[in-house]
Structure 1
Amino acid sequence: MVDAPHPLKRWSLAITGVALATVPGTRLLVDTDRVAALLEGVVPLLLLGGVTYAGVAYARRRSPGFTAVVTAWTLSVVAGMVVVALWITTLSRLLATGLPFAALTPVVTSVGAVAGLWVGTNNARWRERKRALRRERERIDFLNELLRHYVLNAAQVIVGRAELVAERTDETDATVVADTGRRMARHVEQMRALVPSDGACWPVDLAASVTAASEGFGTEVRVVDQVPEPCSVLADDALDVLVEALLNQAVDRASGTVTVRISATRTGGDVVLTVDDDAADPAVGTVDPEAIDTDGGVLQFQRYLVVTLVERYDGEMTVTNRETGARIEICLRAAPTDDAFGNP
């Protein structure tokens, strides 16, 4: 397949507009009737002048590929309109109405050029958005691999060596390094949770995820786990990250030790996860992802993480702030082939 040079692609739409303008220009020179000259010459020239102007603007502001796509669509619609004109002319002659093809050609080519410009522009923009989304997805996948294979592995090495040094020397600094490394590794896991592998969900035990998320906290939080076992919902490997983010929200809002009660109830085909804490100040903010200020620190990040994962699981979240704390309810889809609470 022969690829046209970039300059030709860049100016292809402008060249097309000028070339098509020769048809109504010729009719304008031939027609002696003013009305015919206006309809067959002036109006089509104005329309094709707009196409030419768009071609010049695209040549200066858009990529050659974008302009080439618009030109291809423009010529395709023009060709279709010419076929329509030939069809109408043939039919008119069969009916003996005497409508000449030459009179229709300037009109249909100019109208077809404008229609093709509109269709082609929208198609080219769609192609650009699709390419941009693909490149963005590739960058996200690359970042995910970088975090998993380099940052996370390096953090695990740091934690392991620091724990070994702490055991041998009983150094407080080594313990601090190990704790910091564990927190860093967990933050990496949270960041990776924002990047789904393929968007698919499968049955995941909510009770096991609550247990796994609760293990990473010390004395700053007292978790009252009231989730029945088993309790399967449709989620992915990041379900424990969701629960951990809910606990982090309570910890970050509390001035001291916070008590968090976690329970789950089955309602039809859904499981309602309830997280009730006694951290009264500040109140839990909005659950609208567009209204969350991601520059607002760790608390905002935890909230954004919760909202993002709930949306991924096709769930719904409601927040109730009280004087004594906050109550967050998240409705998740129950696993369709599994009794969420192990009942017969």
Structure 2
Amino acid sequence: MNGTRCRVAGAAAVGGIGLALLAVRLRFGSLPRATPVSDVAPVGLALVLFVVAGWLPRSDLAALPVFYIPAATVGGMAAVAAFTTFVTTELLPATTTVPTTILLLNFVSAGGALGLVAGLLAATTWTLRTRTAQLRRSRDEYRELFDGIGDAVVVHDTRGRIIAANDAATDRLGDDTALTDRRITDIEGDEVRSRVVIDDRIVYETAHTTADDETVPVEMSARYVRYCGSPAVLSVARNVSRRRASERQLSEARDRLRALNRVLRHDIRNDMQIVLGTAGLLDERLGDDTARDHLRTIVDTGEHVVELTRSSRDLERTLGGEEPPPLHPVSPAETIESELDRCRSAFDHATFVVESDLPDVTVRANDLLSSVFRNLLNNAVQHSDRDDPTVTVSGERRDDRVVVRIADDGPGIPAERRQSVFRKDETGLGSEGTGLGLYLVSTLVDQYGGDVWIEDNDPRGTVVAVELCVETAADGAASNGAVRDEASR
């Protein structure tokens, strides 16, 4: 039985005792020489019992001790009734004219009142002891958790005075007595970086001075709490020495890979320029069509390798930095026209058509937007199964978005592969085209807050749609600020 049901049952029992007492008094109300004074004890006790019965369901007494109240009340009545019966039957008949029943009823009511008080005290005492034991267990469990956390936990008041600390904090910063006499500014360094607000917490990085006068980099997470009834600040300090060391190692490894990547791209481009230049000289001297076809294969492969180095460079700029490049207004129409001029020169066997005037707007992007359209235009040609492929470019504005479509007349892409072709694990150096192109396209468009998807072309081929956010006045102001911040670094 839960606490509420026990309290309701106890209230019913107490109320039932009050009703029984009134019923007995009414039963003997017509006795001779009964006066209003003789009703004080039974009626008064009944009223008190009714008040207690009404209070019990709303009280916070423990479940079982509630039954102490009616039990003690009945026990008090029974004990006094036995004694009063002996007195009224053996001693009083010769000395008083008050009816025995009236005397018995009043004495029994007095005994019930004493029992009621005793029951209330017993129930209250039991409840207080139980709650005290629960609070002690909760305090011990809280302390175990507080001290069991590997991070240093410090509580300080609004003036910065440390008022509590866990074992990890005292081990790192000093014994508990000395620590609680210090201020939070005594153990934190002056340098604070990476300050951010997450929900109701302030997270920042600083340094702690240990008891051995060593400086330890820590990540602090602070929030307002109430401690001992007063406002305070709970700060959790995590030692980030290992993380900093790992970050340095990763940064050094990234720098070495970048240097290797630049050297490889430089050497590959230089060698391929020699290959393509020599192929151009041979093209002027070859008269055999078959030989020219073989030469064209060499040239296309060489251009593919050069394009691969460009995609690798753009991918490094996109993914290799700690933060993505800042966004600023870029004209998609001008970017596409520039890339179309390059493609017409590089792929003289292909036809490039602009179906309609591209929307004269600016979008939120950066200079890598040219890599998006360059890769899509290259793929449209390089994946074609036609000798003279045709690539069609169109664009339209949709409210605060602009959609650019690049359509080809090649073999198309099966519906089940249209999502996977943008994934990193679907591309690589062994695939056709640049290998990294579509993954780079998807990554950049996602950074721009846009979307990219594939549609069917009619009657054959593929349409790649790129949706970008149109730059607004507010976006422009924010972008200009970001560019200025980047330039000042």
Could you tell me which residue of structure 1 aligns to residue 321 of structure 2?
Answer: none
Could you tell me which residue of structure 2 aligns to residue 246 of structure 1?
Answer: 376
Bigger relative contact order, structure 1 or 2 (CA pairs below 8 A, ≥6 apart): 1
Could you say what secondary structure the match of 2:346 adopts?
coil
Could you tell me which residue of structure 1 aligns to residue 477 of structure 2?
Answer: none
Q: Deviations over 1:140-194 (max 9, x none)?
A: 4314422443221332233223323443566746665444333321221122121
Question: 1:223 Cα shift?
Answer: 3.1
1:168-183 equivalences under 5 Å are 172=292, 177-183=298-304
Could you say what secondary structure the match of 2:453 adopts?
strand
Could you say what secondary structure the match of 1:195 adopts?
helix
Q: Deviations over 1:286-332 (max 9, x none)?
A: 16855742357236633212212323433222333478444332122
Superposition TM-score, scaled by structure 2 size: 0.40
Superposition TM-score, scaled by structure 1 size: 0.54
Equivalenced residues, count = 251
Out of 244, 265, 277, the residue aligned to residue 127 of structure 1 is 244
Could you tell me which residue of structure 1 aligns to residue 21 of structure 2?
Answer: none
Q: Partner letter of residue 332 of structure 1?
A: L
More strand, by proportion: 2
More helix, by proportion: 1
Could you tell me which residue of structure 2 aligns to residue 294 of structure 1?
Answer: 427
Report if aligned partners of 1:163, 1:175 keep a CA contact under 8 Å in 2: no
Q: Please, which runs of 5 or more residues in structure 1 have no aligned partner? A: 1-43, 55-72, 88-114, 338-344
CA RMSD of aligned residues (A): 4.8
Greater gyration radius: 2
232-241 vs 152-161, greater mean Cα deviation: 232-241
Q: Please, which runs of 5 or more residues in structure 2 have no aligned partner? A: 1-142, 152-167, 183-220, 222-235, 319-323, 474-489
Report if aligned partners of 2:408, 2:457 keep a CA contact under 8 Å in 1: no
Question: 1:269 Cα shift?
Answer: 4.5
1:206-285 equivalences under 5 Å are 206=335, 207-219=337-349, 222-226=351-355, 228=357, 232-251=362-381, 254-256=384-386, 258-278=389-409, 279-283=411-415, 284-285=417-418
Could you tell me which residue of structure 1 aligns to residue 306 of structure 2?
Answer: 185
Q: Partner letter of residue 245 of structure 1?
A: N
Q: Partner letter of residue 353 of structure 2?
A: V
1:57-72 equivalences under 5 Å are none
Report if aligned partners of 1:225, 1:262 keep a CA contact under 8 Å in 2: yes
Could you tell me which residue of structure 1 aligns to residue 90 of structure 2?
Answer: none
Q: Partner letter of residue 357 of structure 2?
A: P
Could you say what secondary structure the match of 1:182 adopts?
helix
Report if aligned partners of 2:327, 2:366 keep a CA contact under 8 Å in 1: yes
State how far apart, in whole Å, the 2-side matches of 1:75 and 1:143 are. Answer: 47
State how far apart, in whole Å, the 2-side matches of 1:165 and 1:258 are. Answer: 25
Could you tell me which residue of structure 1 aligns to residue 455 of structure 2?
Answer: 320
